[in-house]
């Protein structure tokens, strides 16, 4: 079955830039969506269709792609950004959705 | 405002059935595909199933295929998840979510499968 790979954890100090990656064989052909899930809360869409920021999401959140790897970049990280981040996409054989395992972003 | 509200969860024994409902409001429900996503305690997000905006197509994850069925009622702005032959590893918080982007989520409903 198709899988998306995310590093389990990333740690950064406040004000620094966090780079979270998501890898998958189909990512050069399928859109990726990124979600932020704080402890005990509902997931929130932070990046849509690889690079688009939904209304209300701060500009410090950005998305980029390079081949089969997509990246969520959080510039000027704040303590409030501490959360799990999940990527989501579909495989090339049908509309079967898959989530990455999630990356825990820790703000030191 | 755009809102999704799940209902129908609870505690069931292994092998039993349960039907989850998700009520949509604040947007044109019939214009969006809908998903069910679940999250086991302490685990990540797992996609469960999707239904096209008009109900014409449905797809589900291998882990639930043949046991779970997604359906919708566009007249009443509802989406459902019929869960049969429940197992302990189906225990999770179940969310409904809107569209390809999953840009609107419900608050989730807990399903516990235990003897």
Spatial neighbors of B81 by CB under 8 A, at least 6 apart, are B19, B20, B22, B36, B48, B49, B68, B69, B70, B94, B96
Angle at alpha carbon of residue A66, lines to A60 and A67, rounded to 5°: 150
Q: Round to whole Å and give the CA distance between A30 and A65.
A: 11
Mean per-residue pLDDT of chain B: 97
**Closest residue in A to B52 (Cα–Cα):** A95
User: What pLDDT does A91 receive?
Assistant: 85
User: What pLDDT does A98 receive?
Assistant: 96
pLDDT tens sequence for chain A (108 residues): 889 999 999 999 999 999 999 999 888 889 999 999 999 999 999 999 999 999 999 999 999 999 999 999 999 999 999 999 999 999 877 789 999 999 999 999
Work out the burial of residue B88: count CB atoms within 10 Å of its CB; fewer than 13 is exposed, 13-18 middle, 19 or more buried: exposed
Q: Round to whole Å and give the CA distance between A19 and A10.
A: 8
Reference B58, options B73, B47, B69, B45; nearest CA is B69
What are the E-state strand segments in A48-90?
61-66, 69-74, 83-90
**Closest residue in A to B94 (Cα–Cα):** A42
A93 or B22: which carries more pLDDT confidence?
B22
User: What pLDDT does A94 receive?
Assistant: 72
Q: Residue B105: which of A42, A54, A98 has the nearest Cβ? A: A42
Q: Chain B contact for A85, CB < 8 A?
A: no
Give per-residue pLDDT as tens, B67-89.
999 999 999 999 999 999 999 99
Angle at alpha carbon of residue B68, lines to B65 and B71, rounded to 5°: 115
| CB B6 within 8 Å of CB B12 | no
Find the mean pLDDT for residues B10-25.
Answer: 98
Q: What are phi and psi of B60, to 5 degrees?
A: -140, 160
User: What pLDDT does B94 receive?
Assistant: 98
Reference B83, options A10, B92, B74; nearest CA is B92
Disruptive mutation site among B45, B62, B108 for chain A (greatest number of A CBs within 10 Å) = B45
User: What pLDDT does B54 receive?
Assistant: 96
User: What pLDDT does A46 receive?
Assistant: 98
Mean per-residue pLDDT of chain A: 95
Residues of B in contact with A1 (CB under 8 A): 62
Reference A20, options A65, A83, A70; nearest CA is A70
- The sign of the dihedral angle between the CA atoms of A51, B54, B48, B21 is positive
User: What pLDDT does B46 receive?
Assistant: 98
Q: How many CB atoms lie within 10 A of CB B14?
A: 13
Reference B2, options A86, A56, A90, A72; nearest CA is A56
**Closest residue in A to B41 (Cα–Cα):** A40
Q: How many CB atoms lie within 10 A of CB A102?
A: 23
């Amino acid at each position: 079955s198709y899988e998306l790979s995310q590093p389990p954890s990333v740690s950064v100090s406040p004000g620094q830039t966090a780079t979270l990656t998501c890898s998958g064989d189909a990512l050069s052909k399928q859109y990726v969506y990124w979600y932020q899930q704080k402890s005990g809360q509902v997931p929130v869409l932070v990046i849509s269709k690889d690079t688009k920021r939904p209304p209300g999401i701060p500009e410090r959140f950005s998305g980029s792609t390079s081949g089969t790897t997509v990246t969520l970049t959080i510039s000027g990280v704040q303590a409030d950004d501490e959360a799990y981040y999940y990527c989501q996409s579909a495989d090339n054989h049908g509309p079967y959705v898959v989530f990455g395992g999630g990356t825990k972003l820790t703000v030191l | 405002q755009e809102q999704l509200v799940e209902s129908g969860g609870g505690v069931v024994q292994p092998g039993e059935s349960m039907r989850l409902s998700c009520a949509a409001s604040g947007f044109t429900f019939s214009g969006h595909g809908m998903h069910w996503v679940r999250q086991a305690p302490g685990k990540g997000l797992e996609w469960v199933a999707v239904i096209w905006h008009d109900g014409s197509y449905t797809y589900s994850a291998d882990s639930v295929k043949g046991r779970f069925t997604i359906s919708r009622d566009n007249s009443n702005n509802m989406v459902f998840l019929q869960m049969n032959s429940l197992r302990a590893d189906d225990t999770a918080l179940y969310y409904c979510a809107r569209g390809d982007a999953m840009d609107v989520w419900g608050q989730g409903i807990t399903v516990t499968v235990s003897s």
